[in-house]
Amino acid sequence: MLRSLTLIPLLWGFTAAHAVEVPYTATPLSIKTSQGKNQTLGDRSAGKYRLVFWYSNFCPPCYAMKSFLGKLEKECNAEDFEIVRVNINDSENTPALKALNIRGTPTLTLWSAKDEYLALATGFRGETQVRDMIKKTPTKKCGTP
């Protein structure tokens, strides 16, 4: 019974991983956002920093993060920065998931204005931790809580 209890947090996406620098230099990756827009990661033409939130419909920590991500989107999205939501259950996103080795949700990836893959954070992150990732970008619009 104890073995089952220790696996539950892992199935819900809780991990002890911290944001790390992760270079990505392969071919551009097409993604479909939760708003139905097609975007490309890694094509060197974004022109803005992007924080990509990879989530699943069946992920309780993802729902917890969505509660403050909407506020951050309104506060932080600007000409030089945007938060993008990507549902991993959408089959159009499978090639990008494989290329980036995203195996669980929630996951955050940070991309530069030149579409360089800068950082990865896996597992639940609170609002303060997400703001800390955003502070790695030069965006001026996003303030502190």
Residues 6+ apart with CB under 8 A from 20: 119, 120
- The CATH H-level (homologous superfamily) assignment of domain 2-134 is Glutaredoxin (3.40.30.10)
The predicted model scores a pTM of: 0.78
pLDDT along the chain (145 residues), means of 10: 30 37 62 87 78 94 93 89 93 90 91 85 93 85 62
Domain ranges of the chain: 2-134
In terms of Cα–Cα distance, which of 133, 137, 141 is closest to 78? 141
Exposure string over 5-43, b if 16+ CB within 10 A, otherwise e? eeeeeeebbbbeeebeeeebeeeebebbbeeeeebebbe
